[in-house]
A = this chain, B = another copy of it.
Amino acid sequence: MTDTVASPIPDLLSRWPALRPEERVRQFRLLTRDLREELFWGLPSPDQAELLAAMPEHERRTYLRSLPPDDVADIVQSVPEEEREGLMALLDDVTRGEVRALLAYAEDEAGGLMNPRFVRLRPEMTVDEAIRYLRLQTRRTETIYYAYVLDADQKLLGVVSFRDLLAAPGDKRVEEVMERDVITATEETDQEEVARMFADHDLAALPVVDEQGRIVGIVTVDDIVDVVREEATEDIQKIGGMEALDLPYFETGFWELARKRAGWLAALFLGEMLTATAMAHYEEELAQAIVLALFIPLIISSGGNSGSQAATLIIRALALREARLRDWWRVARREVLSGLVLGSVLATIGFFRIVLWQMFGNVYGEHYLLVAATVALSLIGVVMFGTVCGSMLPFILRRLGFDPASASAPFVATLVDVTGLVIYFTIASLVLRGTLL
């Protein structure tokens, strides 16, 4: 990352998440007034709140008031209940009203992302009038990629990008140059959906309208980049087999982190206990053919691995809308085949591995060929089961209204382990009956 006029801020911003709180305040104090502002504006809301808390009252007011209402709302939401009113008190009445309105929305909905300040135009204005009018409005509006054309009762009639307004002949009327076919969100639209709309349409801003089609605010693309990363982080952490964190790794308290991990881990552990139960059923077979025990980890882990591959593949496809709920059957057919192919690959490797080892020193006894066959067949069965299980679980979770990303690699592995053992010992009892069993 270069910088024509070398500024310390870009580098400082990227190092920020890794700095300890006291170090952050120290760094902030070292900066000139201008650089402080540049840094402050570049930080995510929780970090801004952290700095505000360390400021003297008068400074806190200045910095808080330098932010647009939607950013203020994010900060207020990121501080403990009891500190919120104190922050609100620092705002001017107009902004306080706007912030209160924004706080009414869930943080992860369009309403929670939107900015109530945007550029309004009337349809009958000429382009020249519009541009002159915009030059007055811009002082109190955040963005100006688009101007929104409203009728007398705030209903959204159309949108005109600044670019088109400038490109149009000055004497045309706004309604002649505006785009009437406007893509909008409602206050309740989920932020993941909002992000998808931005990506699908390469939008710079998206108007939010109420039931009556009245515009209540706009969401701008710079907020969306953060949303997309946030959502991806949540998915990745769930796939890793834990609750998603609300804060960065180092900012999450030790016990908070332990709790979020222990929950899933214990749940998986309880599920995994079934393997011990299953194994108990096969204790006899094991006693007779101890050699079977040697391949248990190999076989169940192969099922788990192929399962977690399939699961993550489908989780992401669902998240990006590449696959829909109704595609489950198409996926199932495809994954059965994949499972067969992948299973056969591992089976082949496994079979020859056993035969090879047998050549150097009699490890697996006289019936080593039957053992090899048992392992190979089990691998095909287990991998097929793992692949189908892993690819279907996200669909089932989505269907039941849960987040598909909860179909974590460990979750799938646990599911597959128990079944893997059953498959293994069933095949063993068939192949080895009369010889080892």
Contacts and interface: CB of A to CB of B under 8 A. Distances in A.
B185 A265 contact: no
A223 to B, nearest CB: 8
Contacts of A417: 297, 301
A249 B42 CA distance: 36
B10 A200 contact: yes
A289 to B, nearest CB: 11
Given A3-B182, A265-B345, A10 B297 contact: no
B201 A13 contact: yes
A204 B201 contact: no
B237 A239 contact: no
Interface stretch (A22-30, A57-65, A95-103, A225-233): A225-233
Contact of A226 (B199, B313, B323, B409): B199
Contacts of A410: 301, 304-305, 308-309, 409
A300 interface: yes
A134 interface: yes
Interface residues of A, number: 141
A337 B254 CA distance: 9
A265 B249 CA distance: 30
Contact of A228 (B232, B286, B408): B232
A237 B312 contact: yes
A296 B296 contact: yes
A167 interface: yes
A84 B246 CA distance: 46
A197 to B, nearest CB: 6
A180 B131 CA distance: 26
Given A1-B189, A269-B346, A342-B258, A297 B421 contact: yes
A189 B10 CA distance: 14
A250 interface: yes
Interface stretch (A85-93, A276-284, A429-437): A276-284
A136 to B, nearest CB: 9
A154 interface: no
B301 A290 contact: no
A200 B3 CA distance: 14
Contacts of A216: none
A378 interface: no
A17 B272 contact: no
A1 B194 CA distance: 8
A163 to B, nearest CB: 5
B225 A265 contact: no
A265 B331 CA distance: 20
A172 interface: no
Nearest to A255: B341
A274 to B, nearest CB: 9
Contacts of A51: none
Given A229-B320, A237-B313, A273 B257 contact: no
A3 B350 CA distance: 57
Contacts of A279: 293-297
B309 A242 contact: yes
A363 B308 CA distance: 33
Given A276-B298, A322-B250, A305 B3 contact: no
Q: Most B CB atoms within 10 A — which of A239, A257, A304? A: A304
A236 interface: yes
A410 B421 CA distance: 18
Nearest to A269: B346
A225 B222 contact: no
B138 A163 contact: yes
- Of all A-B residue pairs in the complex, the 7 with the closest CB atoms, nearest first, are A240-B312, A232-B232, A409-B409, A275-B297, A248-B322, A202-B222, A305-B410
26 contacts: A7-B183, A41-B202, A138-B167, A199-B225, A199-B226, A221-B221, A225-B228, A229-B232, A242-B312, A249-B323, A264-B309, A266-B349, A269-B298, A269-B302, A269-B305, A270-B349, A275-B298, A275-B301, A276-B294, A276-B295, A279-B295, A286-B290, A301-B304, A304-B413, A408-B409, A409-B409
